[in-house]
Structure 1
Amino acid sequence: MTRARLSAATISRLPVYLRVLNAVADEGQQHVSSSWLAQATGVNSDVLRKDLSALGSMGRRGVGYQVDTVKAALEKALGLGSVHPVVLIGAGHLGQAIAGYRGFSPRGYQIAAIIDADENLWGTHVAGLRVQSPQELPDLVAEHKIGFAIVAVPAHAAQAVADQLCAAGVRGILNFAPVELTVPEGVQVRGIDLAHELQILTYLSTGQI
């Protein structure tokens, strides 16, 4: 079954399964039961079995799931068989923290370029990469074959940045700006609003916002 035929809810859970399976694989564990994996990932057992069955027949009654087999299926479904170049827009405090994050490379993502509108930052280096101007975006996207972008700019600048990214050919945007982006059909956007997530966490923890 192709990735396009998986539901959005299923896709959102696949990285969680993969993270747990990577951890048990590092410990040398070769098999896990569906009930154990469900508990470790915080997912209902029936939902987990349905999610994994969408990737193929892998579980065996009385044996469970072979870790390497499920890991391979998850990696294929998530498109992790190759390195995906990413452009980071924004070299402020948040952008610098994102650029320094070491979790991208093991998962198949590499920040290939960093761009900021502040000309005072042009030519400086963040995480070993030279900060460049927005005018260089189209050439960088073409040169590095960049398909994805991380947007870490203020809300008022985010839509203009998204427009530039779409015009340059970027097909996926991870947006940290607290604003909804309008993009053409075929371009995917995932928004991460940290304050919004904290508000939800506050409600769930205390019943108050």
Structure 2
Amino acid sequence: MQSRPRIPEATVARLAVYLRVLTGLVDSGRGTISSGELAAAAGVNPAGLRKDLSHLGPCGTRGVGYEVSTLRDRIAAVLGMETAHACVLVGIGNLGSALAGYGGFGNRGFEFVGLFDASPARVGQRVGDLLVRPMEELDAVVTGTRATIGVIATPAEVAQPVCDRLTAAGVRSILNFAPVALSAPAGVGVRQVDLSVELQVLAFLDKQRGVPGQTTPAALAPAGGMA
């Protein structure tokens, strides 16, 4: 079996964006696209795009550009999207429920095969096509479905124990939405998504650009002062 090329993590993230753009173009019937057009649609510069795609080997034609479906399939194969990936999700609060109910993951090759929560009030509820299971069933579901990806959408204080449970069950990749850094065993990949941090970055960039209409905390106080 031919091994996939070793690609920098930052490039992998951009390849995933190119795949999303190209998939939309295939769906719309687009046949070819230039590097400039693809770069603009993905929010990168053309030179950076060409450097990223160089990891895939020759895949474009000078004066013509890229064949959309061929490039889409090439990137999908490199990213391992030729087969579906089984995922489990722990923490069925507002965010977890939204993630579990989102139908777009299936179109990208990801399938939730188990939803879990420690709250008896949530166990047994249906979210999408799945019932929420108790944490006691986590190991059996991961083993039975060969799930390799775990998504954590729990409060911060329980995220590390959940991470430990997932890795002990055999999960080797974790997407963490809890606002806390996780410690995982060697060989386990962890990606952190902290929505509050992303909002803070956007707020800073708005301030740096001098965006008008900012609302100060004092303006949010009720009339007559803070309660």
Fold match by TM threshold 0.5: yes
Deviations 1:92-126 (A, max 9, x none): 11111111111100000111110001122222222
Query: Is the CA contact (8 Å cut-off) linking 1:124 and 1:131 kept in structure 2?
Result: yes
Look up the match of 2:32. Answer: 31
Which range moves more in the overlay, 182-191 or 15-24? Answer: 15-24
Give 4+ residue runs of structure 1 displaced > 2 Å after superposition: 1-4
Look up the match of 1:173. Answer: 174
- How far apart are the structure 1 equivalents of 2:40 and 2:147? 37
**Ranges in structure 2 where 5+ consecutive residues have no aligned partner:** 211-227
Which range moves more in the overlay, 79-88 or 152-161? Answer: 79-88
Residue 131 of structure 2 aligns with an amino acid whose one-letter code is R
TM-aligned CA distance change 1:29 to 1:97, over 3 Å: same
Deviations 1:168-209 (A, max 9, x none): 00000110000000000110111110000000011112129x
- How far apart are the structure 2 equivalents of 1:106 and 1:37? 21
**Ranges in structure 1 where 5+ consecutive residues have no aligned partner:** none
Residue 30 of structure 2 aligns with an amino acid whose one-letter code is Q
Look up the match of 1:204. Answer: 205
Identity of aligned residues (%): 47
Q: Cα RMSD over matched residues?
A: 1.6
Look up the match of 2:186. Answer: 185
TM-score, length of structure 2 as denominator length? 0.88
- How far apart are the structure 1 equivalents of 2:65 and 2:146? 40
Aligned residues: 209
> Displacement of 1:3 after TM fit?
4.7
Look up the match of 2:104. Answer: 103
Trace 1:99-138 onto structure 2 (pairs within 5 A).
99-138=100-139
Matched, 1:164 2:156: no
Look up the match of 2:41. Answer: 40
Deviations 1:1-55 (A, max 9, x none): 9556100110010111111111111221111111111111111111100111111
TM-score, length of structure 1 as denominator length? 0.96
SS at match of 1:111: strand
Look up the match of 2:60. Answer: 59
Which range moves more in the overlay, 21-30 or 157-166? Answer: 21-30
Look up the match of 1:89. Answer: 90
- How far apart are the structure 1 equivalents of 2:124 and 2:25? 43
Query: Is the CA contact (8 Å cut-off) linking 1:2 and 1:77 kept in structure 2?
Result: no
SS at match of 2:115: strand
Deviations 1:67-113 (A, max 9, x none): 11110111011111111111010111111111111110000011111
- How far apart are the structure 2 equivalents of 1:123 and 1:25? 39
Residue 47 of structure 2 aligns with an amino acid whose one-letter code is D
Residue 175 of structure 2 aligns with an amino acid whose one-letter code is L
Residue 77 of structure 2 aligns with an amino acid whose one-letter code is K
- How far apart are the structure 1 equivalents of 2:47 and 2:106? 32
SS at match of 1:12: helix
